[in-house]
Chain A
Amino acid sequence: NAGVTQTPKFRVLKTGQSMTLLCAQDMNHEYMYWYRQDPGMGLRLIHYSVGEGTTAKGEVPDGYNVSRLKKQNFLLGLESAAPSQTSVYFCASSYSGSATEQYFGPGTRLTVT
């Protein structure tokens, strides 16, 4: 099992450009999450999904969109990147939403200039 994988690992964007971050999991998990991690702050939830075809907003959803067309994939889109979106993005998945742990991917480091 590869677990949770993320592509790309690194990316540099110019302000106004768009991009999509891909997250894939091979554990047949129902729940998937996108977080961002900034220096001096805890991970913050951007969007999450409780199953194929569903998405919901987290704590900091503005400027991001997501899609869950397939159970194993969760895409995070930035339509018009801003320097404030410079961050490390982590995808996670879990079997259910209650007590089960979340499994995290290795992260994507995004810089917006």
Chain B
Amino acid sequence: KNQVEQSPQSLIILEGKNCTLQCNYTVSPFSNLRWYKQDTGRGPVSLTIMTFSENTKSNGRYTATLDADTKQSSLHITASQLSDSASYICVVRLTGANNLFFGTGTRLTVIP
């Protein structure tokens, strides 16, 4: 069964600290993996997208890694800011189809 699981479900960190969010997937055949940021009451906004051959991609303070062999991805946030408080969603695309599989997200709260 194609699934995307994220951990932790929620996380609280102090402003300025780093954190890492995890995504494990069983989607196969795999096409690409995306990380989205969703602020409360807003639609998701893309942070990174990685294909099978890419194992790391950065977008400012956000760095995503991908291990296609173990089917794991992580999103590392450096020097967190209050504006990083949001849900972070891992999304995996099936090859050759329009199917996207969404994780349930990690709710990150950054406190001063």
| A88-111 vs B, Cβ < 8 Å mask (1 yes, 0 no) | 001010000111011111110000
Q: Type the 1/0 row for A29-44, where 1 means its CB is closer than 8 Å to any CB of B.
A: 0010000000011111
Complex interface: chain B residues within 8 A of A81 (CB): none
B42 at the interface (CB under 8 A from A): yes
* A41-B104 CB under 8 A given contacts A31-B98, A99-B49, A107-B42: yes
Interface size, B (range): 20 to 34
Using Cβ atoms and an 8 Å threshold, which residues of chain A touch B42?
Answer: 106-107
Q: Is the CB of A107 within 8 A of B41?
A: yes
Contact with B along A45-75 (1 / 0, CB 8 A): 1001010000010010000000000000000
* Distance, CA A94 to CA B44, complexed state (A): 13
Binding site of A, secondary structure by majority: helix, strand, loop or mixed? Answer: loop
> Quick one: which of A31, A50, A98, A105 contacts B43, CB cutoff 8 A?
A105
Residue of B4, B103, B105 with most partner-chain A CB within 10 A = B105
B34 contacts chain A at the CB level, 8 A cutoff: yes
Known contacts A42-B4, A101-B49; is-contact A90 B43 (Cβ 8 Å) = yes
Other-chain residue from B32, B43, B103, B104 in contact with A4 (beta carbon distance below 8 A): B43
| Chain B 39-66 residues near chain A, CB threshold 8 A | 41-46, 49, 51
Q: A90-B43, A101-B34, A105-B43 are in contact. Are A42 and B98 (CB under 8 A)?
A: no
Kindly list chain A residues whose C-beta atoms are within 8 Å of the C-beta of B32. Answer: 99
B100 near A45 with CB under 8 A, answer: yes
A45 touches B99 (CB 8 A): yes
**B102 on interface, CB distance cutoff 8 Å:** yes
Contacts of A50 in B (CB 8 A): 98
Q: Which 5 A-B pairs have the closest CB atoms?
A: A104-B43, A42-B102, A101-B46, A43-B102, A104-B44
B positions within 8 Å CB-CB of A? 4, 31-32, 34, 41-46, 49, 51, 89, 93, 98-105
Chosen A-B contacts, 18 in total, with CB atoms closer than 8 Å, are A4-B43, A42-B4, A42-B102, A42-B103, A42-B104, A42-B105, A43-B44, A43-B102, A45-B100, A90-B44, A98-B31, A98-B93, A101-B34, A102-B100, A104-B43, A104-B44, A106-B43, A107-B42
